[in-house]
Structure 1
Amino acid sequence: MQCLRIVSWNIRKAVGLDWRRKPERVLRVLKRLEPDIVLLQESDKRLPPRPPALPLDLVRRAGWTAIDADPDTPSIGHHGNAILLRPDITLQAMIALDLPGLEPRGAVLATVTRPGMSLTLGGLHLGLRQRDRLAQMAHVLDAAHQFDGPIVLGGDLNEWRKTKSLVPPGSNWTEIAPGPSFHASAPRFSLDRFVINEAVTIDGHGVVSRQSAERASDHLPIWMDIELSDQTKPRNGF
């Protein structure tokens, strides 16, 4: 059995509640959480040429490998969606998705491996309109069907209602809302969530406290610990 900690966080371009851009603060918070994998939203400054909000040299010095999800830009993500990996986890395959809807939105799906383990990740940031969110989630889940094995999606789903799930009822997908993560100054809304398939076993999940998050964003990070059965042969998602 392999255990992994996954963190998802909308870092608001590394601009904190004090309206100061401090990428070192974001990376300091992440280091304390000790995740194996990080899914970030709003990881770049959005306007062309989309420079990263977390400079790559700082990311590397902090001990992370950033998946190059958008080689045509200097960003570390695609539409701001970035995936950071511990050095012992290797990218095997990746696709970047442009999502339907009024606003430009995207997602990243990636299969990563380490000895005895294969896992497909998805980082996403959905739109502000409900009909867009439903269409965008359906698009991501449809793309995820080409992958085998355990799948964990995470991100800012922008769903304000506590009891509303964006995954189809009766499917093999489960949506996990660890708790209120927005606004970081007084959390009331569970905008940040995970979506898993039935091959993933959850060992725990939660929302990072306001004190631990250091006012580094208007969202609080969420985390989930999972267990995966050992696999003798890593699976290819394609």
Structure 2
Amino acid sequence: MMRLRLASYNLHKCRGTFGPYAPEQNLAVVAGLGADIVALQEVDFRMGLRPEALPRDMIEAATGLVPVDHRRTSDQSLGWHGQTILLRPDLAAMARSLPLALPGVEPRGAVMLHLPGLTVIAVHLGLMRSSRRAQLARLAAKAGRRGGDAVVLTGDFNEWRGERGLEALTDLDVIAPGRSWPALAPRLRYDRIAVTPWIKVLDCGVFDTPLARKASDHLPIWADLQISDPE
């Protein structure tokens, strides 16, 4: 049995809701989460070779976490299609990762992280519902091939409806911890966590602090998970 805190956070390229560019604010928010695993979205700028918006050389000192080693969009990027996963160093030492390309109108991808007995898939889904459905169908198929692993799928789903667009996740329990966008006056539950049934969600929520409200246009979400062996 394993217990851990997992979080997801769309950094908005470290530009805050209206600017200025201030990655130290985002890192302070990440540190405040107290999480063991953090899925991050929009860690790179969307231009040219997609250079990193979140400076990798600041991460461990500010948060105690390290980015998982995975293929990146370019040599200048921190993420794969703008995404990466931060981990406690002891977890990173046993982790394997795989970048996934996703279908859709826009270029999108996911990062799949493998730990013993646990697979975490970090996503930032497309802006069109038809693309999101196709992307979730591919990810659900990937999750289904993980055998006895516990699976967590988390990130910015870009989906505001609870009853539409998530049809491919019928084998997972989908949790929307609360309103996370826009950060200054949250109204929509874009950010979600989906888990296999043998993962127990002990607690979950939105990390809503004055700093989080100005550091990005999304508030982070978190969940405390208890992971048991499947029966």
AA partner of residue 226 (structure 1): L
Equivalent pair of 1:167/1:174 in contact (CA under 8 Å): no
**Structure 2 SS opposite 1:17:** coil
**What is aligned with 1:98?**
101
Could you list the runs of 5+ residues in structure 1 that have no partner in the other structure? 232-238
| Cα deviation 1:102-153 (Å, max 9, x = unaligned) | 111110111124xxxx311010001111111100111111122222311111
Q: Tell me how far apart the structure 1 counterparts of residues 143 and 46 of structure 2 sit (CA, whole Å).
A: 25
CA contact (8 A) 2:183 2:213 kept: no
Matched, 1:26 2:26: yes
Match of 1:234?
none
TM-score by length of 2: 0.91
How much does 1:215 deviate?
1.0
Distance in 2 (CA, whole Å) between partners of 1:108 and 1:120 is 10
| CA deviation profile, 1:41-99 (whole Å, cap 9, x unmatched) | 11111223222111111012232211132244332221011100011203433221111
Aligned with 1:89: secondary structure?
Answer: helix
Q: Does 1:81 align with 2:80?
A: no
How far did residue 14 of structure 1 move?
A: 0.8
1:159 paired to 2:162:
no
Query: Residue 23 of structure 1: CA displacement?
Result: 0.9
Instruction: Supply the RMSD in Å over aligned alpha carbons.
Output: 1.9
1:177-196 → structure 2 map (5 Å cutoff): 177-196=176-195
Amino acid at match of 1:224: A
Q: Which amino acid aligns with 1:42?
A: E
How far apart, in 2, do the equivalents of 1:159 and 1:121 lie? 20
Q: What secondary structure sits across from 1:178 in the alignment?
A: coil
The 8 Å contact of residues 136 and 168 in structure 2, kept in 1 or not, is answered as: no
Amino acid at match of 2:114: T
1:107 & 1:15 partners in 2: Cα distance?
Answer: 22
Tell me if the contact between 2:16 and 2:217 (Cα under 8 Å) persists in the aligned partners: yes
The residue identity in structure 1 corresponding to 2:17 is L
**Aligned partner of residue 28 in structure 2, secondary structure:** helix
**Are 1:221 and 2:224 an aligned pair?**
no
Cα separation, 2, equivalents of 1:73 and 1:46 = 14
The residue correspondences of 1:39-188 to structure 2 (distance < 5 A) are 39-62=39-62, 63-71=64-72, 72-90=74-92, 91-113=94-116, 118-148=117-147, 149-164=149-164, 166-168=166-168, 171-188=170-187
Q: TM-score, normalised by structure 1?
A: 0.88
Task: Answer 1 or 2: which has greater helix percent.
Answer: 2
Change (3 A) 1:162 1:230: closer
Answer yes or no: is the 8 Å Cα contact 1:70–1:76 preserved in 2.
Answer: no
Give the letter for the 1:106 counterpart.
G
Aligned residue pairs, count: 226
Amino acid at match of 1:141: A
Kindly indicate whether the alpha-carbon contact (under 8 Å) linking 1:124 and 1:157 is maintained by their aligned counterparts in 2: yes
- For the residue of structure 2 that corresponds to 1:155, the secondary structure is strand
The answer as to whether partners of 1:95 and 1:110 remain within 8 angstroms in 2 is: yes
Q: Distance in 1 between matches of 2:126 and 2:67?
A: 24
Q: Which runs of 5+ in 2 are unaligned?
A: none
Distance 1:210 1:184 in 2: 10
**Following the alignment from structure 2 to structure 1, what is the Cα–Cα distance between the partners of residues 140 and 75?**
26
**Aligned-residue offset at 1:165:** 5.2
